Amino acid sequence: MDFRQGLCFTVMIKPTIYIETSFVSLLVARPSRDILTGQRQHYSRIWWEFHRHNYTLVSSRALVEECREGDPELAARRLTILEQATSVGETTPQMRALQKRLVVPLGPLPALGRTDALHLAIAAISGCTFLLTWNFTHLINPRIRRMSDTIIRKGGYEPAQITTPDQDVESART
């Protein structure tokens, strides 16, 4: 008789989480005097230290390019963080097409939100479960989320669930 017969083997697959630029930026930024920004930095560090291991971290070439911008010291820190993530690689034509549908005049995101639309498209097409962000203007905005989720589903993909580090930390406590 096979010793495994009658035993139940469970494989735990970690959910995937696409890390967006605002999270990475606040994670490595110099301490802020602004109370809200400081709180977000604090939660970002808690999430990175204690919760990132619960996920398969995902990045993209577009995210890397965006993180290279700005102050060279902070850019180097951002890129070091992204080394912990698995990259989905180059942006595909399908990702660009979905990005275009998410930006005005077709979608809810303004032209200035073109990069945010690309992050939504990459996360959805790559099959990510979550998208981790602090971007309340374009990504966490309920009206934009509802409309963008509809567009993504009409495109044949499941949108990533948008979350912030503090939501994930607080949900782990319950």
**Which pLDDT tens digit goes with each residue over 118-127?**
999 999 999 9
Looking up tokens 């990702």 gives 95
Sheet holding 130-132, edge to edge: 86-87, 56-59, 16-19, 130-132, 161-163
Give the amino acid at 44: S
Which residues pair with residue 130 across a beta bridge?
17, 161
Q: What is the pLDDT of residues 22-46, one digit of tens each?
A: 999 999 999 999 999 999 999 999 9
- Kindly give the confidence (pLDDT) of every residue in the chain, 174 residues in length, as a single tens digit, with 9 standing for 90 and above: 443 444 444 556 899 999 999 999 999 999 999 999 999 999 999 999 999 999 999 999 999 999 999 999 999 999 999 999 999 999 999 999 999 999 999 999 999 999 999 999 999 999 999 999 999 999 999 999 999 999 999 999 999 999 999 997 777 655
The predicted model scores a pTM of 0.90
**β 130-132/16-19 pair status:** parallel
Residue 2 half-sphere exposure toward CB, CA atoms < 13 A? 4
CB of 44 closer than 8 Å to CB of 149: no
Q: What is the CA radius of gyration of the chain?
A: 18
Domains plus CATH for the chain?
A: 16-173 (3.40.50.1010)
